[in-house]
């Protein structure tokens, strides 16, 4: 067993790392590209199936490397076609990945950490505490596995669709909106993003890969320089008082700092905009006054708003804003010229909707002790008050 673990997993290696490894064995750089195409583009995990590689090279690969996504514990398919995989990442931890098919695209929502340290009180991942960062192979392994499964389904016609579909077109977009805060696992996430964009790997365009962050300001600056993919920022509150409670990271990086970082990010992605995610919590952040405060924010950053109906989970004690409230809230923003969409809830029958991804996390952070304010938010939710929690 230990020999297997110590072999390098090709899923976590970018072209430079592969080229260095191949060169060490006396191979030419093009071998690395060839290998990368087999593994990522064609989704082949068995070296003996890589038919245009020389037998000696295949033998060396068999002896020294492996291609392995984390093992799947369970898979669920929702009535609306959403699919969820639970991957076992060892030591009692499991992470979740969700595929959301739509008419014009297929979006894969992937996880970056087992748990999360940010501990937002409306998020079931946040409730679980944190165990560890995922490595690049575990992050890319989610995409690799999902594409293979979806491709198999197309081949066996389990998926609808007239024109010939390919795995590339089935997973057309990737969003880092699963479990974890991607920018608190920066190096591993960056390497995974680069593989997603690499033409020899997944070849996704920059705008079809989205990182969602609760606002890790210094890492937003690094991402802007290293790999300026589409950026979604989990805003959830229009002022510091409320955001300190809903997104505890705000106490470290308050709104002013966050908005400035958004503008710096856009300097590296000149034709882009920031997507502000805003979860609609009944009686907490959904009053007209909150919408008016958001208009002020929207005037400072090139952005659009995505209002997210809160998906409840047992421990949160919070409630989803009623539909008419969400509509009125959206209308206030749109009347002020702010582009606003309301996210459709998908896959909630299999607990695959945003914020319901719980996986299994062996918490190492003693979260209950870290969050004495959680009860305060729970008490206020569900009443008619629209006052801020501040």
Residue numbers of the site for ligand SF4 (CB under 6 A)? Answer: 116, 118-120, 123, 125-126, 180-181, 214, 234
What's the min distance (Å) between Cβ of 236 and ligand SAH?
Answer: 6
Q: Does 355 bind ligand SAH (CB under 6 A)?
A: yes
Report d(CA 32, CA 15) in Å as an integer. Answer: 7
User: Do residues 316 and 339 lie in contact, with contact meaning Cβ atoms separated by under 8 Å?
Assistant: no
123 catalytic residue (yes or no): no
Strands 209-213 and 83-88: unpaired
Helix (H, G, I), strand (E, B) or coil at 325: helix
- Interface region with ligand SAH, contact rule CB under 6 A, candidates 23-31, 165-173, 198-206, 308-316: 308-316
User: Do residues 303 and 263 lie in contact, with contact meaning Cβ atoms separated by under 8 Å?
Assistant: no
Report d(CA 251, CA 257) in Å as an integer. Answer: 11
End-to-end alpha carbon distance in the chain = 53
- Interface region with ligand SAH, contact rule CB under 6 A, candidates 61-69, 95-103, 151-159, 212-220: 212-220
Strands 209-213 and 173-176: parallel
Contacts of 255 (CB under 8 A, 6+ apart): 239, 240, 243, 297
What's the min distance (Å) between Cβ of 313 and ligand SF4?
Answer: 11
Taking the least distance from each CB to ligand SAH, the nearer of 167 and 177 is 177
- Interface region with ligand SAH, contact rule CB under 6 A, candidates 99-107, 193-201, 208-216, 296-304: 208-216
Neighbouring C-beta atoms of residue 25, cutoff 10 Å: 12
Out of 96, 181, 277, 388, pick the active-site residue: 96
What 8-state DSSP symbol labels residue 41? I
- Select from ligand SF4, ligand SAH, none the partner in contact with residue 282, using the beta carbon and a kind-dependent cut-off of 5 to 8 Å: none
Q: Does 311 bind ligand SAH (CB under 6 A)?
A: yes
- Select from ligand SAH, ligand SF4, none the partner in contact with residue 351, using the beta carbon and a kind-dependent cut-off of 5 to 8 Å: none
Binding interface with ligand SAH (CB under 6 A)? 122-123, 177, 181, 212-214, 234, 277, 279, 308, 310-311, 354-355
Active site residues: 96, 354
């Amino acid at each position: 067993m230990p020999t297997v673990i110590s072999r390098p997993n090709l899923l976590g290696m970018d072209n430079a790392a592969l080229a260095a490894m191949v060169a060490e064995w006396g191979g030419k750089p093009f071998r690395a590209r060839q290998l990368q195409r087999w593994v990522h583009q064609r989704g082949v995990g068995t070296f003996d199936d890589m038919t245009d590689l020389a037998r000696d090279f295949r033998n060396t690969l068999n002896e020294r490397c492996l291609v392995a996504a984390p093992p799947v514990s369970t898979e669920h398919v929702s009535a609306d076609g959403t699919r969820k995989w639970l991957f076992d990442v060892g030591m009692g931890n499991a992470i979740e990945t969700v595929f959301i098919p739509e008419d014009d695209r297929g979006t894969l929502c992937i996880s970056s950490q087992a748990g999360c340290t940010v501990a937002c009180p409306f998020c079931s991942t946040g409730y679980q505490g944190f165990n560890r960062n995922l490595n690049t192979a575990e992050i890319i392994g989610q995409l690799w596995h999902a594409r293979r499964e979806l491709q198999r389904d197309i081949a066996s016609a389990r998926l609808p669709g007239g024109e010939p579909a390919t795995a590339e077109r089935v997973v057309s977009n990737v969003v880092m909106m699963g479990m974890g805060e991607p920018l608190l696992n920066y190096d591993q996430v960056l390497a995974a993003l680069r593989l997603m964009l690499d033409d020899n790997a997944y070849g996704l365009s920059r705008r079809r890969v989205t990182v969602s962050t609760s606002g890790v300001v210094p890492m937003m600056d690094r991402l802007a320089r290293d790999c300026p993919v589409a950026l979604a920022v989990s805003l959830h509150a229009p002022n510091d008082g409320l955001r300190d409670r809903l997104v505890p990271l705000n106490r470290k990086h308050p709104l002013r700092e966050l908005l400035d970082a958004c503008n710096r990010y856009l300097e590296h992605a000149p034709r882009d905009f920031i997507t502000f995610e805003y979860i609609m919590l009944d009686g907490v952040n959904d009053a007209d006054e909150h919408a008016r405060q958001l208009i002020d924010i929207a005037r400072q950053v090139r952005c659009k708003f995505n209002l997210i109906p809160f998906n409840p989970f047992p421990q949160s004690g919070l409630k989803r804003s009623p539909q008419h409230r969400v509509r009125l809230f959206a209308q206030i923003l749109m009347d002020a010229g702010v582009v606003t969409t309301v996210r459709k809830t998908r896959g909630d029958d299999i607990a695959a909707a945003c914020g319901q991804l719980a996986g299994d996390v062996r918490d190492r952070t003693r979260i209950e002790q870290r969050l004495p304010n959680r009860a305060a938010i729970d008490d206020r939710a569900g009443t008619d008050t629209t006052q801020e929690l501040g």
